[in-house]
Amino acid sequence: MNNKFIDDVIEWDVNNWKECLSYWTKNSHIDINNSSVLELGGRNGGLSLWAAMNGANVICSDKDGPTNDAKRKHKKYNVNHLIQYKKVNALKIPYENELDVIMSKSILGALGYDNNITNQKIAISEIYRTLRKGGEFWFIENLIASPFHQLMRKKFIKWGDNWRYVSINEMMLFLNQFSSVKYKTFGITSCFGRNEKQRKMLSKLDKLILKITPKNWKYIILGVATK
């Protein structure tokens, strides 16, 4: 996979967030080829693009529907015939015990807007209900991370005061109905880069200091939860 393709899939803080693509395939029992996949909160359809390029039958969704950029992107890679575009509210997913994989990237913070932990719990329960037995939830999310991360979000990110970033313990609690959960945490300094070039440089530093950084200081959690 070339760099431009990965950039189109991940879009932001690419060197760190692209970790999900190899992790999911290595830790899944599902062959994504010909599987049924729902991307929640797809917006620009990056994960849908990746899934379709790997042969999945994909529903690319967002609360108000995916963007036109998503459709243009999928057409550019000639996978639009494998993708349906839907308006799907993560709090009321219109499927039942039928999907092989549900995937999402950084949706829980927005669902928890104004400290709404209830909506975050509902969304995970909806994902569980929608998957078939043995189906999997592939997730990558922003963690609350260190006090310094929290301060910088409030100071420099316009939604930093309103998003509800989750802790590792909360994420495990949300996922406790699943039969198994595999996960890893990573990312320390990369999110502080002001542009993608800086974030890529900082991601290299992250790899050097990862082992000596407290687990709850890391700002990304990535995993596979099996129903």
Could you please report the per-residue DSSP string of 40-82? ET-TTTHHHHHHHHTT-EEEEEETT---HHHHHHHHHTT-GGG
- Cα dihedral value 116, 16, 103, 73, nearest 10: 110
pLDDT of residue 11: 96
- Round to whole Å and give the CA distance between 183 and 26: 12
The tens place of each residue's pLDDT in the chain, 227 residues long, gives: 689 999 999 999 999 999 999 999 999 999 999 999 999 999 999 999 999 999 999 999 999 999 999 999 999 999 999 999 999 999 999 999 999 999 999 999 999 999 999 999 999 999 999 999 999 999 999 999 999 999 999 888 888 789 999 999 999 999 999 999 999 999 999 999 889 999 989 898 888 887 788 889 999 999 999 99
- Decide yes or no: CATH 3.40.50.150 for domain 3-226: yes
Coil vs helix vs strand at 92: strand
Structure tokens at 211: 């082992």
Q: How far does Cα 68 stand from its chain's mean position?
A: 20
- Round to whole Å and give the CA distance between 154 and 157: 6
- The predicted model scores a pTM of 0.95
- 35: DSSP letter: -
Rg (CA), the chain: 17
103 neighbors 39 (Cβ within 8 angstroms): yes
Question: Domain segments of the chain: what residues?
Answer: 3-226
- Round to whole Å and give the CA distance between 161 and 191: 17
